[in-house]
Chains A and B, each alone.
Chain A
Amino acid sequence: MDQLITYSLHLADTTLILAQRNAEWCAHGPILEQDIAITNITLDLIGQSRNFYQYAATLINQSAEAVAEPATEDSLAYLRTEREYKNLLITELPNGDWANTILRQFFFSVFQFGLLEQLQKGSDAQLAAIAEKSIKETTYHVKWSSEWVIRLGDGTEESHQRMINAIHNLWTYTGEFFIPAVYEKDVLPHVDFDALKSAWLEKITEIFTEATLSVPPASFMQTGGKTGHHTEHLGFILTDLQHLQKTYPGAEW
């Protein structure tokens, strides 16, 4: 049970923090249509995170350790600390430019698509149901971000160079997708993470080829997000995110 709670929180934190980052583009996008598009993705991710938080809250409230104050989606999102958050490191990195933002979305969405397929086949009915709903959204996120990778990779000299810079920034954070934490192995005994990684790499290679970009060689990968060892960025994100709940404890909004 504890492992399932932790895993649900990992999924919830990951989607929330990516949404929080993407939301920084809202009203600041490079063109109106794309401002709307990335904001749509942000809304999808918030919706997914709410489903995972609500599930975690239900599990916590059913467990023996349930306390007087029941857990809610908001208590889990707003009152947990930097070391308790279990999101993937890649989601908390600063947005950088549009190339960096869309490449992160692409890496993440292709990974998430493969993961959600596996969750649908898993033994936990609730996770499977959330995955079934989410994968429709993620299918679009993969399509949208793939198109942008191709457009920028095979656009101008400048956009191509910016994509190379983005790959350089982000590649070292992609390994964490496929290195399961203890709780993931426990909750997802049926998932072959190496196979997930091969399928991911295949899709990345396909799109990069069309985008005239090269896939970097295997190299050192950063990890830690899944167990609460974050970059220095997360503290600032949470300070912002949790500002009102921390300033006015216990208030309803």
Chain B
Amino acid sequence: MELIDLEKKFQEKIDKEIKIEPLDWMPEAYRKTNVRQISQHAHSEIVGMLPEGNWISRAPSLKRKAILIAKVQDEAGHGLYLYSAAETLGTSREQMIDDLHSGKAKYSSIFNYPTLTWADMGAVGWLVDGAAILNQVMLCRTSYGPYARAMVRICKEESFHQRQGFESLIVLSKGTAEQKAMCQDAINRWWWPSLMMFGPKDSESTNSDQSMKWKIKRKTNDELRQNFVDMIAEQVKLLGMTLPDPDLKWNEATKHYDFGEINWEEFWNVVKGNGPCNRQRLEARNKAHKEGDWVRAAALAHAEKRKNKLAKQDLAVA
């Protein structure tokens, strides 16, 4: 079949909402875009363990400690599903991890911000996981089958994370004056970076059009960002806290909240590696991986020895 026909058939499948599966023919660019996006997503889960892991030893109660550890562990599990989903497209996990460690592959910039107080655990759950969920709910219907199925599982756990984040902020918002201040401060610091999680404006986004046509994405960056603002602007009232945006106000005509201009200079700076923690995050990942070299080598060597031993036993029996 001619390339042009293959592409036509591929697009027809997409238009009919038939999922693309690993062995199906697909345009190289579709494969590449999915590998890039799924592996970036996997890396975000793994790097995202670091800012939250930062508070495990200091969690203020045994219950909070258990919840936080379970949450960080869930992120590791999400990373695993996602690496597996990306591997179905023909790129090995090892290659993807190497690309993360060398700085070639990106991960969500939000994790380059520091978690300074306990309230950040709540704010990250509520705002960061909240923003991620909007994107992920959309991805449950993405056109690549393995990615869509991984997202269904992940979404269930993420919505639990968001609820527990909000619940822990509720407790702070009803607490002492110091706890209230801690809560507001965390919201102030995480609000704008959370808005940046949806990526550049539609008018500036290079990958958007093709991704929409291939139904990798089904909503644009600006649409998702607006959904998020509308949701959070209401929820923040339940906390009795405010969002740090003087321009935030309900627009009766559009039935949406208007909001102020994002600091895009900061956004691009963090993407380019100049965020407060870019260096620390990559160093931590590289260190863990490097210190694990001998462990992985030993596990492989042992598995090999075992295999040979079993083979010999089989021969003896035969």
Please give the residue numbers on chain A whose beta carbons come within 8 Å of chain B beta carbons, in ascending order.
16, 20, 23-24, 26-36, 39-40, 42-43, 46-47, 49-50, 53, 73-74, 77-78, 97-98, 150-152, 154-156, 158-159, 162, 240-241, 243-245, 248, 250-253
A46:B50 contact, CB within 8 angstroms: no
* Cα(A158)–Cα(B292), bound, Å: 12
Q: Which residues of A contact B73 (CB under 8 A)?
A: 26, 36, 39-40, 43
Q: Which residues of A contact B301 (CB under 8 A)?
A: 155-156, 159
B56:A49 contact, CB within 8 angstroms: no
* Cα(A250)–Cα(B60), bound, Å: 11
B76:A35 contact, CB within 8 angstroms: yes
B80:A32 contact, CB within 8 angstroms: yes
| B88 → A minimal CB distance (Å) | 17
8 more CB-based (< 8 A) A-B contacts, given A152-B295, A155-B298, A251-B175: A26-B69, A28-B288, A39-B73, A42-B69, A46-B69, A151-B302, A244-B58, A253-B60
A47:B66 contact, CB within 8 angstroms: yes
Q: Which residues of A contact B262 (CB under 8 A)?
A: none
Given contacts A40-B73, A241-B58, contact A26 B49 (CB under 8 A): yes
* Cα(A251)–Cα(B171), bound, Å: 10
| A76 → B minimal CB distance (Å) | 10
Q: Which residues of A contact B64 (CB under 8 A)?
A: 253
A156:B294 contact, CB within 8 angstroms: yes
Instruction: Say which residue of A27, A33, A36, A159 sits within 8 Å of B50 (CB atoms).
Output: A27
Given contacts A27-B49, A241-B58, contact A159 B80 (CB under 8 A): no
* Cα(A16)–Cα(B66), bound, Å: 11
**B57 on the A face (CB < 8 A):** yes
Given contacts A151-B299, A159-B294, contact A74 B61 (CB under 8 A): yes
A-B contact pairs, 13 of them (CB 8 A): A23-B57, A24-B57, A30-B295, A32-B80, A39-B69, A50-B63, A152-B298, A154-B305, A155-B302, A159-B295, A159-B301, A252-B171, A253-B61
A43:B69 contact, CB within 8 angstroms: yes
Contact string against A for B residues 67-109, beta-carbon threshold 8 Å, 1 for contact and 0 otherwise:
0011011001101100100000000000000000000000000
Output the nearest chain A residue to B45 by Cβ-Cβ distance: A32
Q: Which residues of A contact B298 (CB under 8 A)?
A: 151-152, 155-156, 158-159
| A253 → B minimal CB distance (Å) | 4
Q: Which residues of A contact B118 (CB under 8 A)?
A: 244, 253
Q: Which residues of B contact A78 (CB under 8 A)?
A: 60-61
Q: Which residues of B contact A35 (CB under 8 A)?
A: 76
**B176 on the A face (CB < 8 A):** yes
B66:A43 contact, CB within 8 angstroms: yes
A77:B60 contact, CB within 8 angstroms: no
A36:B62 contact, CB within 8 angstroms: no
Q: Which residues of B contact A98 (CB under 8 A)?
A: 291-292, 295
B294:A158 contact, CB within 8 angstroms: yes
A73:B295 contact, CB within 8 angstroms: no
Q: Which residues of A contact B50 (CB under 8 A)?
A: 27
**B19 on the A face (CB < 8 A):** no
User: Total number of A-B contacts with CB less than 8 angstroms?
Assistant: 135
Q: Which residues of B contact A46 (CB under 8 A)?
A: 62, 65-66, 69
**B178 on the A face (CB < 8 A):** yes
* Cα(A33)–Cα(B76), bound, Å: 8
| Best-surrounded residue of A30, A42, A43 (most CB of chain B within 10 A) | A30
* Cα(A56)–Cα(B298), bound, Å: 43
**B53 on the A face (CB < 8 A):** yes
**B279 on the A face (CB < 8 A):** no
| B119 → A minimal CB distance (Å) | 10
**B46 on the A face (CB < 8 A):** yes
| A83 → B minimal CB distance (Å) | 21
* Cα(A150)–Cα(B303), bound, Å: 11
A31:B69 contact, CB within 8 angstroms: no
Instruction: Say which residue of A23, A30, A33, A40 sits within 8 Å of B56 (CB atoms).
Output: A23
* Cα(A252)–Cα(B170), bound, Å: 11
Instruction: Say which residue of B57, B175, B292, B305 sits within 8 Å of A31 (CB atoms).
Output: B292
Q: Which residues of A contact B316 (CB under 8 A)?
A: none
A240:B58 contact, CB within 8 angstroms: yes
| B36 → A minimal CB distance (Å) | 20
| A28 → B minimal CB distance (Å) | 4
- Chain B positions 260-291 with a Cβ under 8 Å from a chain A Cβ: 284, 287-288, 291
**B297 on the A face (CB < 8 A):** yes
A30:B62 contact, CB within 8 angstroms: no
| A11 → B minimal CB distance (Å) | 14
B62:A74 contact, CB within 8 angstroms: yes
**B179 on the A face (CB < 8 A):** yes
Instruction: Say which residue of B63, B168, B297 sits within 8 Å of A155 (CB atoms).
Output: B297
| B205 → A minimal CB distance (Å) | 31
Q: Which residues of A contact B70 (CB under 8 A)?
A: 43
| B10 → A minimal CB distance (Å) | 33
| Best-surrounded residue of A23, A73, A77 (most CB of chain B within 10 A) | A23
* Cα(A158)–Cα(B301), bound, Å: 11
A243:B58 contact, CB within 8 angstroms: yes
